[in-house]
């Protein structure tokens, strides 16, 4: 798990095909202290397993599924990425709970500077709009952000100067592709509400509108 608080930036120093997927080597702009072979590192918000860790460099295997669902396949040598190491139980949860499992790739529809801030509008893939709510949390290329406004096809965020400096959001331009991870809670609630009943005789039925009404949660 991650928090969406970007630790630093990295760049691609190697990229090659391997077994239907790809192997990337990244160099971070911070030391990977107490590295553990096989630990999880979020690269542009994608949870990946780090190997061959050495001071500031590490390699990852990226599966065909991850290449299809994220913007990692579009990275070129020298390309820059947002990096975050996995959450420790003793860490502050400064952003929100981020799994590193990207839901889809969106695009920058509009970038509007407002003094030291930037207002972004993103177009989203079909079906993701129902999980995005105003003032809710969302991860863009691994960065935890607050939704300003939203509809079925777009949402907007206001990015503060610190985030523009510490992440690659400040480099985004109209038409750029970004990884989007919606808040986990909405997906779990939807799944429970769609429960069709017990799988075996005697098993209690899942959470549904009737259950919620019966227990006073809705009218």
| Residue range 88-142, pLDDT digits in tens | 888 888 889 999 999 999 999 999 999 999 999 999 999 999 999 999 999 999 9
Q: Which listed CATH number (1.20.1260.10, 3.40.350.10, 3.20.20.140, 2.40.30.20) goes with 104-188?
A: 2.40.30.20
pLDDT of residue 195 exceeding 70: no
Q: Is the pLDDT of residue 43 over 80?
A: yes
Radius of gyration of the chain (CA): 19
Tens of pLDDT, residues 56-77: 999 999 999 999 999 999 999 9
pLDDT of residue 163: 97
Please tell me the predicted confidence (pLDDT) of residue 192.
76
Domains of the chain: which residue ranges?
8-85, 104-188
pLDDT exceeds cutoff 70 at 211: yes
Instruction: Label residue 210 by pLDDT band (50, 70, 90).
Output: confident
H-type alpha helices, the chain: 64-69, 161-166, 184-193, 209-214
Which class would CATH give 8-85?
mainly beta
User: What pLDDT is stored for residue 213 in this prediction?
Assistant: 81
Q: Give the model's pLDDT for residue 164.
A: 97
DSSP 76-128: -TT-EEEEEEPPPTTS---S--B-S---EEEEEEEEEEETTEEEEEEE--TT-
Which two three-digit tokens encode residue 176? 């750029």
């Amino acid at each position: 798990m991650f928090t969406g608080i970007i630790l630093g930036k990295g760049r691609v120093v190697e990229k090659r095909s391997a077994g239907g997927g790809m192997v990337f080597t990244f160099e971070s702009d911070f030391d990977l202290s107490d590295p553990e072979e096989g630990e999880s590192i979020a690269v542009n918000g994608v949870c990946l397993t780090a190997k061959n860790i050495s001071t500031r460099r590490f390699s990852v295997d990226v599966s065909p599924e991850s290449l299809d669902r994220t913007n990692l396949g579009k990275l070129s040598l020298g390309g820059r990425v947002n990096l975050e190491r996995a959450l420790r139980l003793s860490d502050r949860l400064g952003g929100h709970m981020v799994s590193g499992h990207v839901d889809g790739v969106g695009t920058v529809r509009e970038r509007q500077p407002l003094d030291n801030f930037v207002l972004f509008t993103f177009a989203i893939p079909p079906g993701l709009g129902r999980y995005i709510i105003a003032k809710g949390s969302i991860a863009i290329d691994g960065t935890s952000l607050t939704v300003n406004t939203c509809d079925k096809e777009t949402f907007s965020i206001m990015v503060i100067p610190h985030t523009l400096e510490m992440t690659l959001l400040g480099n985004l331009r109209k038409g750029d592709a970004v990884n989007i991870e919606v808040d986990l809670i909405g997906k779990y609630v939807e799944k429970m509400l769609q429960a069709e009943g017990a799988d075996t005789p005697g098993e209690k039925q899942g959470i549904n509108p009737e259950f919620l009404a019966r227990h006073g949660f809705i009218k």
